[in-house]
Amino acid sequence: MKRSTRLVLLALVLIVFFGGQWLWQHARTPTVAAAAPAHYRLGQLDFKPCTLHQPQSGLATAAWCAPFSVPENWARPDGRKLALRLALIRSHAAQPAPDPVLYLAGGPGQSAIDTWPEIAPALDDVLAHRNVILLDQRGTGGSAPLTCPDVTPKATTPPAATAAARAGKSHPAPQPVPSGTARLRALETETRACLAALRKRGLNPADFTTTQAVQDLAALRHALGDPQFDLVGVSYGTRVAQQFVMRHPHAVRSVVLDSVVPDQLILGQDFGVNLDAALRDDFDLCMNSPACHKAFGNSWATLLELKKRLEKNTPEVNFRTPDGFQPKQEAMTADALVGLVRLYAYSPLTAALLPLSLHAASAGHYGPLLAQSHFISSSLQHSLNDGMQLSVVCSEDVPWLKVTPREADTLLGDAYIRQLQAQCALWPHGAVPANFHAPLRSNVPVLILEGQFDPVTPPRYGTEVLKGLGDARMLIAPGQGHNVIGAGCMPRLVKQFIAKPDPRTLDAQCLDQLKPTAPFLNYNGAAP
């Protein structure tokens, strides 16, 4: 397949902590008018007007930026420094509340600043009284990004397929799928190349862990004058938030955890099980709709049969790229199918397209699926720092990750676990505290947000986290997937909670208005 195995790994595995819905939403980008003063001082930091440009977009946000640096390794505070990119979205209030909101992005590997336009609508009401702090976590965005070079092999199309394409055939003969061993060897080659490139820049990937990032946040708080934070973490950002609360409880006034990752979770161990459960729930919506069931039958059975077919033969498919409508030919593999289906499950809007898309693919029309796979993989490549992801999971998860029959029997299978293990055998591991995976115990007010059909962090994860919290509540968004802080009336509830951190007083009946998106019967929608 003409794509880096690194992108396959991104699509199959590390998207777990990704604030998923930004892939499908086109959020408005609020701007904050620059104030008359030329600077805005908070604690030791002198903020000046700046513009935050959204990657791959002409959109921009007016903000305030300040230089901020930390030790690359907190065990050697007098050693080399890292310059971290820091921005502030100013409150509309003349005198903002003393406790700013600190937004913690997903991934691992997302930039808080680059993803601000996607989270901004959910926090726009919060700006009425509070500043929002955006700090690119070390290894992401503008903070010494651990970005791997593209080392995709160029000669990946089989000779027979190339000849057929030159002859003008639209559907060349199917080609065998490369063996799992060959994929692992290619992945190891990429990992070595990435590590060599980062070391050439003088960076030590072992220093880019969640634990080091939490120490960066503690230093940021001190530089701001030691305010209490209102933490808002999304997906992987919820791990960062919980670790910060565990080690600096006095520094936190309130916490919002959207699509929570329990501290005790080993990233990757439940991926396949969670995905299967979410897909079955999504497909049940079609099974329970007479029109959808009549049109597409059993979508779960269709998916399994399609995967089995692609594991045996890999057809070359001609399609148009969705970002430039350019003609392209790629192989449709089982990996691409599963990766795309997994990403579709993140949002109710795209999950509603699955029965229709799978039905078309089962009839040999792979173009729409492959075009979307190309679009999503390209988006991930530009939005996630893959080296930073490895620094996190190789240090904090993979040493405890095991291949189990339970995972092997799922749609996702255990190949992604073996891929992670192969990469992490080469990647440097950072130090992890002995209690890193201990459940969070805290009386800090916490609001947990979960999507009913989340394929990555299901509501049972929120229930696990609740057990250790003395002042907390979980809200489930009906019919929603991953990353629900912007769904329905959730922004209003978040604003009310941050204004008065008493989760028990929230009236969340408005969430009952949220419903699953009806399965599409054609590309115009759910209506016949």
What's the rounded Cα separation, in Å, for the pair 55 and 27?
A: 14
From residue 10, give the alpha-carbon distance in Å to each of 5, 257, 342.
9, 23, 11
Closest CA to 135 of 85, 62, 101: 85
What is the phi/psi pair of residue 229, to 5°?
A: -100, 145
Burial 145-178 (b: 16+ CB within 10 A, else e): bbbbeebeeeeebbeebeebeeeeeeebebbebb
pLDDT at 56: 67
Domains and CATH numbers, the chain: 1-139+175-522 (3.40.50.1820)
Residue 449, Cα to own-chain centre: how many angstroms? 16
pLDDT at 1 over 90: no
The Cα angle at residue 359 between residues 358 and 364, in degrees rounded to 5: 90
pLDDT at 36: 52
What's the rounded Cα separation, in Å, for the pair 473 and 463?
A: 9
What's the rounded Cα separation, in Å, for the pair 152 and 340?
A: 20
E-strand stretches of 228-372: 229-234, 252-258, 316-320, 327-331
Q: Specify the pairing of strand 316-320 against strand 81-89.
A: unpaired
Output DSSP code: residue 346. Answer: T
Residues for the chain: how many in total? 528
pLDDT at 16: 41
Burial 340-353 (b: 16+ CB within 10 A, else e): bbbbbbbbbebbbb
Residue 152, Cα to own-chain centre: how many angstroms? 23
pLDDT at 70: 98
pLDDT at 171: 32
What's the rounded Cα separation, in Å, for the pair 373 and 510?
A: 35
Beta-bridge mates of residue 474: 448
- Give the mean pLDDT of the chain: 86
What's the rounded Cα separation, in Å, for the pair 127 and 135?
A: 17
Q: In this predicted structure, which of 68-72, 418-422, 463-467 has the lowest mean pLDDT?
A: 418-422
Tell me the pTM: 0.88
Q: In this predicted structure, which of 159-168, 195-204, 256-265 has the lowest mean pLDDT?
A: 159-168
pLDDT digit string, tens, across residues 292-309: 999 999 999 999 999 999
What's the rounded Cα separation, in Å, for the pair 505 and 460?
A: 23
pLDDT digit string, tens, across residues 316-368: 888 887 777 788 888 888 988 998 899 899 999 889 999 999 999 999 998 88
What tokens appear for 94 in the block?
């003349």
pLDDT at 324: 73
15/317: higher pLDDT: 317
Contact 145, 203 (CB under 8 A): no
What tokens appear for 446 in the block?
């916490």
Contact 116, 27 (CB under 8 A): no
- Residue 381 binned pLDDT confidence (cut-offs 50, 70, 90): low
